Amino acid sequence: MFERGISETVVRAVIVIDLGEVIQEYLDDVPYPSRLILGWSREQPIHVVTAYDSQERMDIVITVYEPDHLRWEDGFKKRKLI
């Protein structure tokens, strides 16, 4: 997220304040289940991938990026079939 210029404040708003929408869950991921969350920073879409450690009761940020409109459908909730 730092390399992409996406602030911790934006990421926290998406996952902690619940301004994001879970658009995909990966329940079989190991060591923890993960999810893809769509949030918005101003008018820019942001995807945040987190894993959830239920024992520690915390989200672990895996990656954060601005989705590419060439790879995602309008609304950035579904990948385009390429």
pLDDT by residue (tens digit) across 12-70? 888 877 778 999 999 999 999 999 999 998 889 999 999 999 999 999 999 999 999 99
80 burial type by CB count under 10 A (0-12 exposed, 13-18 middle, 19+ buried): exposed
Strand order of the sheet with strand 21-26?
Answer: 21-26, 34-41, 44-53, 58-65
Q: Which two tokens stand for residue 58?
A: 């915390």
State yes or no: pLDDT of 5 exceeds 80. Answer: yes
Q: Is the dihedral of CA 80, 46, 11, 23 positive or negative?
A: negative
d(CA 36, CA 58): 15
| pTM to 2 decimal places | 0.88
